[in-house]
Structure 1
Amino acid sequence: MTRIHPTAVIDPKAALDSSVEVGAYSVIGPHVSIGAGTKIGPHVVIEGHTSIGRDNTFFQFGSIGAAPQDKKYAGEPTRLEIGDRNTIREFVTLNLGTVQDAGATRLGNDNWIMAYVHVAHDCQIGNNIILANNATLAGHVHLGDWVFLGGFTTVHQFCHIGAHAMTAFTAAVSQDVPPFVTAAGNRAVPAGINSEGLKRRGFSSAQIMAIKRAYKMIYRSGLPLEEAKAALAAEESKAPESAEYLRLMREFIASSSRGIIR
């Protein structure tokens, strides 16, 4: 109990590991579980059916697990699920899911969520993601692993952003962003690939060049999208060391329901 500040209000039904730290004036509700090594700063409110994994850090003034900003929500016991080793900075809001979707908002592992970020209901956030200050996700948004969203990026509901993609400062995303692609502008348009990020993650020069060729097939060749997908499939057999990444792009485009940025 020495790790719990005396001014914190923790419901006796909440399940906190004995190593969890809770700062001054934080409030934790009855349906919350928090794993070992997690640190809750001062003035953080954690409510709803919220599960939090190990070794997370929550800075002051966060609102975690509040009801979704959705008029259809009628108090159903939907969830917020947070993985391990995430950093959640000041004034971040993470909302519960809704029964109209998966019933859960999910945040994976090793994510860096900067100040004033909003993650709305039913968002599905992968691993190793950076959301810079004031990035805002509407409901039902999906982010693949290693996505980077620049400051003040806004993402329309139901949009998907593929693995290793990134957005520039103030990008307004209203359609899906394929893996590896950089999006910029209002409304966001393709602006090359995230080559610097790929280098930092250990992608080889040959793999980056293959991804660049795939980008040109989609955006610079003048091919209709169906023909571009066929060209990507052919390219997979020519570049076996990059085939999994080309397939990731092709399958993302094929499954897009909102259409990709063009």
Structure 2
Amino acid sequence: MADTIIHPSAVVEAGASIGEGCEIGPFCHIGPQVVLGANSRLRSHVVLWGNTIIGDGAQIWPFASLGHAPQHLKYRGEDTRLVIGRNCLVREHVTMNAGTVQGRSETTVGDDCAFFTGSHVAHDCVVGRNVTLINNVMLAGHCTVGEYATIAGGSGIHQFTRVGHHAYVGGLAAVEGDVIPFGMVLGNRAYLSGLNVIGMKRAGFNRDAIRNVRRAYRMLFSDDLTFKENIDEVQTEFPDDPLVQDLLAFIRAGGDRALCFPRHAPPA
């Protein structure tokens, strides 16, 4: 473990794999099945446990707890796991649990994510790359969050809910329904309030791409036809647009939860 620094008060159990260049601060505890990637830094009082794999470059702050048993009443000690990608930021008091055999047997987090203070990722969730969870966000079990999604502080996401890529969930939202890609939802209970246009611009989508998605959104949630008919209309209007087709694919794939819909007709 060249250039790895382990504070004398830290406990690294026999069997743990620690990458080169790591820094493990005071009073950290790393279990025997943990794999910690190179150049990671654990500030202090961090607990990594269970069958947990963490990619290179992790930055983990005090009192984070990663990889412990899922909060699931049917869990009986099965060897399930937590996998976290590269270059993730995990701030104070973040919790992430391993999967369950009733689900995927794995909780998965992509590269370059940021989890701010007190956020929680429950068993069997799939979190894409570049996702941001602000303070005290709660992902219940079996949720899927697409890449570049942002979930603002204090929001709760119901189990089995899908949040599409580049979506935005407003602060204190209670999300019971699936959030379409690029969608923006607000409120308790959450409703679709438009598109995350700012997020799309930040992600580098050009003006034409954004314009097409906005037009597709207005068509999808128009009151003139049924929702199914609106989907068919959008398909006809944008047969070759990759972003619109991705949006339609998300809707057609369905899930365990209904979609979030607007409270009122979408803006012009």
Q: Give the deviation of 1:221 after TM superposition.
A: 4.0
What TM-score comes out, normalization by structure 2 length? 0.94
User: Which of 51, 60, 76 is the equivalent residue of 1:49?
Assistant: 51
| Rounded Cα–Cα distance in structure 2 between residues aligned with 1:101 and 1:58 | 27
Query: Normalising by structure 1, what TM-score?
Result: 0.96
Query: Is residue 154–residue 170 contact of structure 1 (8 Å, CA) maintained in 2?
Result: yes
Residue of structure 2 equivalent to 1:70 = 72
SS across alignment from 2:209: helix
The answer (yes or no) to whether the contact 2:132–2:149 under 8 Å persists in 1 is yes
* Distance (Å, rounded) in 1 between the aligned partners of 2:102 and 2:133: 25
Give the corresponding residue for 1:149.
151
Determine if the alignment matches structure 1 residue 209 to structure 2 residue 211: yes
- Structure 1 residue ranges (4+ consecutive) displaced by more than 3 angstroms after TM superposition: none
CA contact (8 A) 1:183 1:191 kept: yes
User: Does the 8 Å CA contact 2:118/2:137 hold for their aligned counterparts?
Assistant: yes
Give, in whole Å, the separation in 2 of the partners of 1:22 and 1:106: 23
Code of the residue aligned with 2:206 in structure 1: it is: S
Contact 1:217 1:223 in 2 (8 A): no
| Code of the aligned partner of 1:205 | R
1:1-262 to structure 2, matched below 5 A, reads 3-237=5-239, 240=240, 243-257=241-255, 258-262=257-261
AA matched with 1:98: T
What is the alpha-carbon distance in structure 2 between the residues aligned to residue 127 and residue 79 of structure 1? 18
Give the distance between the partners of 1:225 and 1:67, measured in 2 at CA: 41
- Taking the aligned partners of 2:253 and 2:91, their CA distance within structure 1 comes to 33
* C-alpha distance after superposition, 1:178-218 (max 9, x if no partner): 00010001110010100011111111111111111111122
Please state whether the residue corresponding to 2:193 is helix, strand or coil: strand
SS in 1 for 2:52: strand
Q: Distance in 1 between matches of 2:121 and 2:168?
A: 17
Q: Which amino acid aligns with 1:244?
A: P
Question: Helix, strand or coil: the match of 2:233?
Answer: helix
In structure 2, distance between residues paired with 1:67 and 1:75: 7
Deviates more, 1:226-235 or 1:167-176: 226-235
Question: How many residues are aligned here?
Answer: 258
Alpha-carbon offset, residue 244 of structure 1: 1.0
For the 8 Å contact 2:34–2:49, the answer to whether it is kept is yes
- The residue identity in structure 1 corresponding to 2:85 is G
Q: Distance in 2 between matches of 1:220 and 1:57?
A: 45
Q: Give the alignment's Cα RMSD to 1 decimal.
A: 1.1
Letter in 1 for 2:128: G
Which amino acid is 1:217 matched to?
M
Conservation of the 8 A alpha-carbon contact between 1:55 and 1:84: yes
Structure 1 residues not aligned, in runs of 5+: none
Does the CA-based 8 Å contact 2:222-2:230 persist in structure 1? no
